[in-house]
Structure formats: C-alpha cells, structure tokens
C-alpha cells in the first residue's frame, strides 16, 4: 500500500534530517506505519517523510528491535525487487485508561493500535472519593490478570476526569458535578498504587484524542469533539494539535447560550447549552410533559443518563411530547456545533459520550442540516458532522489514548532545544 502524500490533509508530519531529533523522527515513522492499515515499505516511508534512506533504515531497525513493528511479507510495485512490508505490532505495548464520571468509573486496556482489549464499568458513590480511588488499582490489576497481558508491556495509565483540573499537579479541582472531590491528587495516588506513569486530563480532551487516535478524526487536522455526558464540553484539534489552553482547561462550553428564551442556569445565565442539553433537563422535561413517569431518583445524574433510553423508547413508540423534547435538544446542539465550527474553521465535528448514544440517530439529521446552513466557510470547504466511531466509552478509551499519544505520537515540542 502506498502512503498518501504528506501534508495537512492526512494529519501526519514530515521528518527532519537533523541529528538531535531522532526521537521525533521515530514517532513520525511509527505514525506512518500505524496509519497504513495494511502495511507499508521503507521506500514508501522515505517518500512520505522526506527522511534520508539511511535515516529511515536506522529508525525502522530501532522499531523492529523494540518489537513495535514487524516485517510481515513483501509487496511488488512496478519494476524492481519486492518490497518488505512493515506493520505495527498491536500487542507490543499497552495502555490503561480510567474515566471518572459523576455516576460511573470505566476502566479499559488498549493495545498499541488503539484496539480495546478489556473493559470494566461500575457505578460509584460520588460522595466517597476515597473509596472510589482505592478501588481503581485492584480493578486495573484484574484487567491485566484476565487478559494475560504482561505488566512490563504497559506504558502508562491515563485518567480522564471532569474539569477543572490542575494539569501540572495531576489534580481534580472542585468539579461542579462532584462537589466532594476537592483537590483530589489523582496522579500522586494512582501512581503510588500502580507503579505506573500517570497522565491526568479533561474528559473532553481525552475523547478528542481517542477519536483522533482510533476513530473518525484520524488524519483530520482541524476538528472538534462535542462531548455529551453528565455535562457538556468540547475537545478541539487545531493544525493537528490538541488545544488545551493556558491551564489545560479549554473546552468548557456549558454556558454557551443556545436558547434566548431558555431558563436560568444555577449561575444566573439564560439558555445555557450545559443546562438545556443535560440528561437531568431532558428527564425533567420528560416528566413535566408526561413523556416519562416520575421516579424517586430523577434528580440523580447517573439515573438521568440511564433514563435517556426510556425517553428514546417513548419517541419510538410515537409519543409526541418525547419527540418534541428530542427535537428541541437537537436544534440547540446544532446551534452549538455551528458556533464551534465557525470559531475554529473546523473540518469536522464528532459528537459522542454516554448521553449521546441513546439519541444519536435522532439528533444527527438536524445537526447535519442546521450546522451546515450556519457554517460561514461553506464556500471554501464542507463541514462534516458525525457520531463517534469509538463508542459510548470514548472518554475511557481516550484516557488510555492519552498515554499512547504522549509516548508514540509526533510532538513538535520535542524539537525545541533547551
């Protein structure tokens, strides 16, 4: 298989023949091999990366020695000798990921290709963060034991959490939906409990990284991931780089106004996206309009997310009030997608998360039509809007992808000399 020509469209970077950037070049080569799903050759890598033939040979040998890639056969292209095919070895390295949600903790194990090897999810008591954190390390041990994965092949642990965060300290800083989680030092505690290197990042950033590593955003240089869970947020990718902001807390769009006639949020703002598109609001509206029967737990976040499936059943059953609620939400999401796309000149917006999955196919037609109509760059390029390829656990998978991205992806910061 011939790798597409290098440049922004496929999101892959050129190498450089300067001696001090060997680590960057290793990542460039590994990224091209990983992107070529059916394998590629050294000759194709030389053409795609611009690296000297000897540099490509040396890098490939290092990657072979580390077991990250393998020679898997030969291919013939035109005249000349057959070319040796190189492919990624998914089982050569693994990453663990945890997503802490206000209602659920999800743990995953991924291979180097981003493939899901193991998964475990459990409901939690959000008012007892100490107990929740204590249970994480044994859960990860169980995942490794059940899969038979050698711990020495695990390169790290990623944590995807609601913001705001202190990225430097690896700490959650009073997330609105987890009031008892006051400055929880997750990196320190999980690092000590597991012996692994730990990365802590916002759940919306993790979701964007997951979709970029193993989903719909692979090879897309300018994109956004609209995350719908207990809250709403956006992960941004600009010029093939994940946007984190000054304190690594970019993407908080909960107070984006999407309905001028909407109710006030708890901070006194009107028509906020985070209020009007939250599972709690949808369930409350469902009960108020007779689309859902009331239950004693309708004010609980986790219960509200689960009740979205019941709301979907009412829509499928022809309940007009349920359909009206979903259509209103779709229009509000479409306004948000249009605003995000126009602000960042985005190629693609992907939507996902636990509150997206039950209603995705009902939302998408409105998002396609309304967001495309609002996109001001439509004469220059199309705006693509889609649902996640990764699934409802995109934030947990993204947590593990944070580790893979940190360890194996091309990072321009590595070119800086200090």
pLDDT in tens, the chain (418 residues): 333 333 333 455 554 443 334 588 898 999 899 888 788 999 999 999 999 999 999 999 999 999 999 999 887 665 567 889 999 999 999 999 999 998 889 999 999 999 999 999 998 888 899 999 999 999 999 999 999 999 999 999 999 999 999 989 999 999 988 999 999 999 999 999 999 999 999 999 999 999 998 889 988 999 999 999 888 999 999 998 899 999 999 999 999 999 998 888 888 999 999 999 999 999 999 999 999 999 998 888 888 989 999 999 999 999 999 999 999 999 999 999 999 999 999 999 999 999 999 999 999 999 999 998 999 999 999 999 999 999 989 999 999 999 999 998 876 554 444 4
Q: What is the pTM of this model?
A: 0.88
**Locate tokens 């306004």: which residue?**
335
171-172/232-238 β-pairing: unpaired
Q: In whole angstroms, give the CA distance from residue 303 to residue 287.
A: 14
In a domain, 418, yes or no: no
Q: In whole angstroms, give the CA distance from residue 387 to residue 226.
A: 9
In a domain, 185, yes or no: yes
What's the length of the chain? 418
Name the residue range of residue 56's domain. 8-88
Phi, then psi, of 239 in degrees rounded to 5: 55, 40
In a domain, 417, yes or no: no
Q: In whole angstroms, give the CA distance from residue 361 to residue 11.
A: 28
In a domain, 343, yes or no: yes
Q: Which two tokens stand for residue 127?
A: 């008012």
What CATH number is associated with residue 139? 3.30.420.40
Do residue 285 and residue 347 come from a single domain? Answer: yes
Do residue 245 and residue 130 come from a single domain? Answer: no
Q: In whole angstroms, give the CA distance from residue 26 to residue 31.
A: 9
The domain tally of the chain equals 3
Do residue 204 and residue 231 come from a single domain? Answer: no
In a domain, 413, yes or no: no
CB 122 within 8 A of CB 394: no
End residue of a domain, out of 39, 59, 88: 88
Do residue 109 and residue 239 come from a single domain? Answer: no
End residue of a domain, out of 62, 88, 114: 88
Do residue 81 and residue 102 come from a single domain? Answer: no
């Amino acid at each position: 298989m011939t790798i597409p020509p290098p440049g922004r469209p496929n999101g892959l970077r050129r190498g450089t023949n300067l001696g001090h950037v060997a680590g960057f070049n290793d990542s460039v080569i590994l990224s091209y091999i990983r992107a070529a799903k059916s394998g590629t050759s050294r000759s194709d890598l030389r053409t795609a990366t611009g690296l000297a033939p000897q540099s490509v040979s040396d890098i490939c040998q290092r990657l072979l020695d580390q077991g990250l890639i393998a020679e898997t056969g030969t291919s013939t292209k035109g005249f000349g000798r057959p070319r040796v095919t190189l492919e990624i070895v998914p089982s050569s390295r693994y990453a663990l990921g945890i997503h802490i949600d206000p209602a659920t903790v999800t743990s995953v194990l991924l291979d180097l290709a981003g493939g899901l090897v193991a998964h475990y999810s459990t409901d939690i008591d959000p008012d007892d963060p100490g107990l929740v954190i204590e249970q994480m390390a044994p859960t990860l041990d169980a995942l490794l034991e059940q899969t038979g994965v050698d711990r020495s092949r695990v390169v790290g642990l990623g944590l995807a959490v609601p913001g705001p965060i202190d990225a430097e300290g690896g700490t959650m800083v009073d997330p609105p939906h987890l009031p008892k989680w006051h400055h929880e030092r997750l990196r320190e505690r999980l690092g000590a409990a597991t012996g692994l290197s730990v990365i802590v990042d916002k759940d919306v950033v993790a979701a964007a990284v997951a979709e970029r590593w193993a989903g719909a955003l692979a090879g897309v240089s300018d994109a956004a991931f609209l995350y719908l869970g207990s809250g709403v947020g956006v992960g941004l990718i600009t010029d093939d780089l994940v946007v984190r902001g000054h304190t690594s807390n970019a993407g908080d769009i909960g107070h984006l106004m999407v309905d001028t006639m909407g109710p006030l949020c708890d901070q006194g703002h009107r028509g906020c996206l985070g209020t009007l598109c939250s599972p709690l609001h949808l369930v409350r509206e469902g009960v108020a309009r007779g689309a859902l029967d009331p239950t004693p737990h309708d004010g609980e976040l986790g219960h509200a997310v689960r009740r979205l499936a019941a709301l979907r059943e009412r829509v499928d059953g022809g309940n007009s009030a349920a359909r009206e609620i979903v259509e209103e939400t779709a229009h509000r999401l479409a306004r948000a997608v249009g605003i995000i796309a126009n602000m960042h000149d985005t190629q693609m917006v992907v939507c996902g998360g636990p509150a997206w999955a039950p209603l995705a196919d009902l939302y998408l037609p409105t998002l396609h039509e309304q967001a495309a109509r609002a996109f001001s760059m439509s004469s220059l390029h199309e705006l693509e809007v889609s649902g996640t390829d990764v699934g409802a656990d995109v934030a947990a998978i993204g947590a593990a992808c944070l580790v893979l991205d940190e360890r194996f992806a091309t990072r321009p910061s590595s070119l800086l000399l200090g």
